[in-house]
Chain A
């Protein structure tokens, strides 16, 4: 049924336009593809669009797509913002833009080679000498850093927006380690999954050729004599704003994600410290800025780089892209000289205009800037200086005079740019489609013929009306960018891998990742062990409180004390009689206090940290579960305001999700070293936790009624109650119970089973013994497993005259000691080098790589 009141989305959007807008052509007519998009949205309906938007938000959250914001009070990770309405550019227009971008890339490459080479641009007076010698990006140690390729600038990103003349204008560029291409990819994947109808009736160009091209370029740079070059994606680490993207791209491209101290230079080569030992690295794609690459020759205080890296590059033993030193191109002053440089190198005009820029170091330009300050934005030429752009028109008279004085004192340090109005584009804000300013980042990679332009890009739009705030640091929205045409038969570049398909069969696991995986296993199991036993204890408590009358029973005390032992939250219930009288406050603290080591909240927190430190290891199913665990984590931190019923419900939920986490891993994770280490961590923790409970429950003999309760609790703790009843019916005996939990080989939670599994795992991990068959870890497990197998259950069950079960106590202590030493041996064997320079560095005046 059609209602007359239904407002046409397009008309209502058009009525809100008060600047020039993306949907209109120069004649003020709606461009055909925008018309098509609006009619699709019309069909979908605004309500449905809002629903899809919600789905997109939760999908991005589930996928763990974040963009870290420095100095944000509410923690670091901020979900990535994606607007469901894409940014459309017609293929034909885009082809023109691509030509302009390719010309820019070509020029920047020529500039880069000239500055670190003959410096003819300066000698021939095309650019002032200040652009080189007063440029903080000009790294003197990099004058002899060269890639063995015709081009030095391999990756380039350009920021553009539509100027008042309807053309795209270049606003800015990134030439060190351009960010954003990974977010493009993720945006596209989410859009195509959740709102595929939007592309009805048009053809949207693919992004993947860009990444194929990048892979080809990297392959060409790598050692040709090797079939499987070792390629590393170098990240500053989880504290970096775009860490999600680093991990995402590394796993998409199939490269090893590493931090500076995962690498070392030795004998002039770069090596990856992996659990198989050192592995030679052929190519590094870096996401750390120039200054931080090598503390020996660049910033001494850098903990992000690799000492000796520059020397290794000079010796030709490793290729780094972009080559260190390329930040020289990021100086804002170059924009003022691009037209002349283009004439100088290519003898032609720039295809794409840049936003008008004046370098104040020349008298004439300085005068212009002083006289037109109201129309200009003032910036420092050097990007690295902590200087916020100043909008001339926003200043009071006296502030303006101050600014002019400041510029005149050191004119060569400043540039001025025309403040241009930009086009607006349809954005979904608070459930309405409204015009907002937008800018677009395009990505290029050097290929054999020149530069390959990604058929798409990262559009950012301002969340606020009439203001141009697009940086993600300040809450900008991102948009998928569609290069659209009518026909699907647009000449598609055929991607041919130009080397025989190089397959890296052996994926090396960096030591740091190895250590984190090990702790993922340990924290996961540790959390589950405490939750499990906590639930058992709460159930008994509830039963007692509700059905057993007021008298506290002896077995509850033992269970509570076991809980303290298990979680190592001493003194807890051990010496505090008050706590035993009213155990609930302590229990709630054990659940919720994330600042107290050993509590459930603290363990989950540690678990989540380890999980995100190796985020490139997980696929989507796992992220979804991790997201649920994360939600549960936030709930239990507030457990003090919950009643015990809800606490248990939340704990159950958490437990199930963690079980699911382990389940997905055991069903889907490749059986490689990553898996083995995670399993090993899990088993070590599982053995230690079970041993601890048996020891504190049965170390001392108690009255039969008490022991019966403890036997039942222990069997539940080992997932064995059902199995036990099937065999022994309702007869509870310590001997039978011990026989089962210690020695029954077919039960996954029996000590013997777990020790045997651990032994198998250790045997599959790479071993570094010299001459010996077994390493220390293997010896310890063998010893523990033998001790258990040789034990006599009847001797273990006996107690001395003080009612102490000495044999049992000793056996369990010994297993505990041996298994703890396994963890220690593994650390020495596989993770020790991660301890050397492990440091999280706060970005000091690190240039923020804003996207």
Chain B
């Protein structure tokens, strides 16, 4: 499957902004199962330079700064992404490695431990306690395959939680989400990661896009897609396997990967430091358009 991807972010400020520094993390990754072509980034007003960098996790970021007064800022990224697997994402053969065995191998295999440790430890936005572990207790059994335990967790989150867009911000603690049983994809991903790490496994945060399908018989609306977040869990012998707790699916060709890290704080799509007082309004439009 091939998609044309556009992501437009627009800030409108009440007071002119004189200086602005920004870091953008919106370039789809090129991976064995995904190819990114023709990536462009356009910023208005135009900065004197846009600097590309590959970060600690291999994600591509862009840095720019603006130094003349402006009241509107637009960042537009476009790319063509080809997903090379036409599967649903489920592994062809199921993994039967049990939780107990997985945990043992993380501890005993040095190279594995080194590469996974930071995804097992708490991270800036993902911390856990007994209450969070209790929530996932019935999903993780030592003698069951890790893969199906994670699937059970995602199903549990999917069925017990409501998707409510404006309930949370990126600063809402996991515990609050757990108590309210509602949130958005970031919250569900953080919660899932906390549970998985709480039981001693490695999980990371994946940031990207999801192609949405219009209701049957209706035309797809422009700007109706959104950036999305899900998780990836390390299954010994299989490697990193993606799960989407928000939709209770195994990510496949409709999931486009931009970046991964320990949690959201490693890969915010766009962050900036502003030198101004006053309010601002934000508008984001994302389109994931299938190309035939």
- Stretch of B17-25, B182-190, B233-241 that contacts chain A: B17-25
CA distance A123 to B117 in the complex (A): 13
CB-CB nearest in chain A for B23: A296
Of chain A, the residue at the smallest CB distance from B276 is A836
Q: Cβ of B221 < 8 Å from any Cβ of A?
A: no
Query: Interface centre among A122, A130, A140, by most B CB within 10 Å?
Result: A140
Contact check: which of A122, A125, A140 meets B266 at CB < 8 Å? A140
Q: Which chain A residue lies CB-closest to B111?
A: A123
Q: Once bound together, how far apart are the Cα atoms of A673 and B49, in whole Å? A: 34
Contact B63 A311 (CB under 8 A): yes
Stretch at the interface among A158-166, A261-269, A585-593: A261-269
CA distance A265 to B47 in the complex (A): 13
Q: A268 and B117 in contact (CB under 8 A), knowing A140-B266, A295-B273, A311-B63?
A: no
Contact A315 B117 (CB under 8 A): no
Query: Which chain A residues lie closer than 8 Å to B67 at the CB level?
Result: 266
B96 → chain A closest CB, angstroms: 28
Known: A140-B266, A308-B65. Is A315-B56 also a contact (CB below 8 A)?
A: no
Would you call B117 and A307 a contact (CB within 8 A)?
Answer: no
Closest to B47 in A: A267
The yes or no answer to A837 lying at the interface (CB within 8 A) is: yes
The answer to whether A267 touches B49, judged by C-beta atoms less than 8 angstroms apart, is: yes
A133 near B: Cβ within 8 Å? yes
B118 at the interface (CB under 8 A from A): yes
Q: How far is the CB of A414 from chain B (nearest CB, A)?
A: 15
Residues of chain B from 19 to 69 with CB closer than 8 A to chain A in the complex: 19, 21-23, 48-49, 51, 53, 55-57, 63, 65, 67
In the complex, the answer to whether B114 meets A129 with C-beta atoms within 8 Å is yes
* Contact A308–B56 (Cβ < 8 Å): no
Of all chain A residues, which has the CB nearest B272?
A: A296
A735 within 8 A of B: no
Closest Cβ of chain A: how far from B131's Cβ, in Å? 16
Contact B18–A143 (Cβ < 8 Å): no
Query: Do residues B53 and A133 form an inter-chain contact, with CB atoms below 8 A?
Result: no
> CB-CB < 8 A to B21: which residues of A?
265, 296, 307-308
**A139: nearest chain-B partner, CB-CB:** B56
Q: Which chain B residue shows the least CB distance to A412?
A: B121
- Is the pair B55, A141 in contact by a Cβ cutoff of 8 Å? yes
CB closest chain-A residue, reference B67: A266
Q: Contacts A129-B114, A836-B18; is A307 near B63 (CB within 8 Å)?
A: no
Q: Is the CB of B56 within 8 A of A143?
A: yes
Chain A residues whose C-beta falls within 8 Å of the C-beta of B273 in the assembled complex: 295-296, 300, 307-308
Q: Which of A266, A297, A315 has a CB less than 8 Å from the CB of B65?
A: A266
Segment 79-130 of A: residues with Cβ below 8 Å from B: 119, 122-123, 125, 129-130
Q: A residues 293-313 with Cβ under 8 Å of B?
A: 295-297, 300, 307-308, 311
B275 touches A129 (CB 8 A): no
User: B121 touches which one: A134, A140, A837 (CB < 8 A)?
Assistant: A134
A637 at the interface (CB under 8 A from B): no
- In the bound assembly, the distance between CA atoms of A311 and B49 in angstroms comes to 12
Query: Which residues 175-230 in A have Cβ within 8 Å of B in the complex?
Result: none
Contacts of A123 in B (CB 8 A): 111, 114
B272 to chain A: which residues have CB within 8 Å? 296
Tell me which of B51, B53, B56, B114 contacts A268 (CB under 8 A). Answer: B51
Q: Please state if A264 and B53 are interface contacts (CB–CB under 8 Å).
A: no
- B51 close to A315 (CB less than 8 A): yes
Which of B18, B21, B56, B114 has the most chain A CB within a 10 Å cutoff?
B21
Q: Which residue of A lies closest to B48 (CB)?
A: A267
Q: A151 interface residue, CB < 8 Å from B?
A: no
Question: Which of A300, A311, A837 has the most chain B CB atoms inside 10 A of its CB?
Answer: A311
Within 8 Å by CB of A140, from B18, B23, B56, B271, lies B56
Chain B neighbourhood of A315, CB < 8 A: 51
Identify which of A134, A144, A314 contacts B117 (C-beta below 8 A).
A134
A442 to B275 Cα, complex, angstroms:
40
Inter-subunit contact B110/A133 (CB<8 Å): no
Which of B18, B56, B113 is close to A129, meaning CB atoms less than 8 Å apart? B113
Return chain B residues, CB-CB under 8 Å to A311.
Answer: 51, 53, 63
CB contacts under 8 Å to B, within A372-394, are none
With CB as the reference atom, state the residue of chain A lying closest to B261: A140
Report chain A residues within 8 Å CB of B55. Answer: 140-141
A-B contact count (CB 8 A): 59
Closest residue of chain A to B114 (Cβ to Cβ) is A129
Beta-carbon contact of A314 and B53 below 8 Å: yes
Smallest distance from the beta carbon of B287 to chain A beta carbons, Å? 28
User: What's the Cα separation between A307 and B22 when bound, in Å?
Assistant: 9
**Which residues on B sit within 8 Å (CB–CB) of A308?**
21, 63, 65, 273
| A144–B23 alpha-carbon span in the complex (Å) | 16
Per the bound structure, the CA–CA distance linking A196 and B147 in Å amounts to 76
Asked whether, in the complex, the Cβ of A296 is within 8 Å of the Cβ of B56, the reply is no
Q: Chain B contacts of A130 at CB under 8 A?
A: 117
Question: By the criterion CB–CB under 8 Å, are A296 and B271 in contact?
Answer: yes
Return the chain A residue nearest B54 by Cβ. A144
CB distance from A231 to the nearest CB of B (A): 23
Contacts of A264 in B (CB 8 A): 19
A295 to B271, CA, bound (A): 10
Residue of B nearest to A832 (CB): B18
B18: chain A residues at CB < 8 Å are 836
Which B residues touch A265, using CB under 8 A? 21, 65
Does B56 lie within 8 Å of A141, measured CB to CB?
Answer: yes
**What residues on B are CB-neighbors of A267 within 8 Å?**
48-49, 65
- Chain B stretch 95-133: residues in CB contact (< 8 A) with chain A: 110-111, 113-114, 117-118, 121
Bound complex: CA A721 to CA B265 (Å): 71
Q: Which of A125, A134, A265, A296 has the most CB of B within 10 A?
A: A296
Interface residues of A in 416-434 (CB under 8 A from B): none
Chain A residues whose CB sits within 8 angstroms of the CB of B56 once the complex forms: 140-141, 143
Question: In the complex, which residues 275-328 of chain A have their Cβ closer than 8 Å to any Cβ of chain B?
Answer: 295-297, 300, 307-308, 311, 314-315
Tell whether A837 pairs with B275 under 8 Å between CB atoms, given A141-B55, A143-B56, A311-B63: yes
Contact present for B63 and A129 (CB under 8 Å): no
Min Cβ gap A511→B in Å is: 14
Question: Smallest Cβ distance from B94 to chain A, in angstroms?
Answer: 30
A307 to B275, CA, bound (A): 10
Query: Is the Cβ of A125 less than 8 Å from the Cβ of B63?
Result: no
Cα–Cα distance between A811 and B96 once the two chains are bound (Å): 95
Distance A704 CA – B118 CA, assembled complex (angstroms): 89
Q: A264-B19, A296-B23, A311-B53 are in contact. List 18 more A-B contacts (CB 8 A).
A: A122-B114, A123-B111, A129-B114, A129-B117, A130-B117, A133-B117, A133-B118, A134-B121, A140-B56, A140-B266, A141-B56, A268-B51, A296-B21, A296-B22, A307-B21, A308-B65, A315-B51, A836-B275
**Chain A contact residues, CB within 8 Å of chain B:** 119, 122-123, 125, 129-130, 133-134, 140-141, 143-144, 264-268, 295-297, 300, 307-308, 311, 314-315, 836-837
Closest 3 CB pairs of A and B: A307-B273, A140-B56, A133-B118
- Give 25 A-B contacts (CB < 8 Å), ordered by A residue: A123-B111, A123-B114, A125-B110, A129-B113, A129-B114, A129-B117, A133-B118, A140-B55, A140-B266, A141-B56, A143-B56, A144-B53, A265-B65, A267-B65, A296-B21, A296-B273, A307-B21, A308-B21, A308-B65, A308-B273, A311-B63, A315-B51, A836-B18, A836-B19, A837-B275
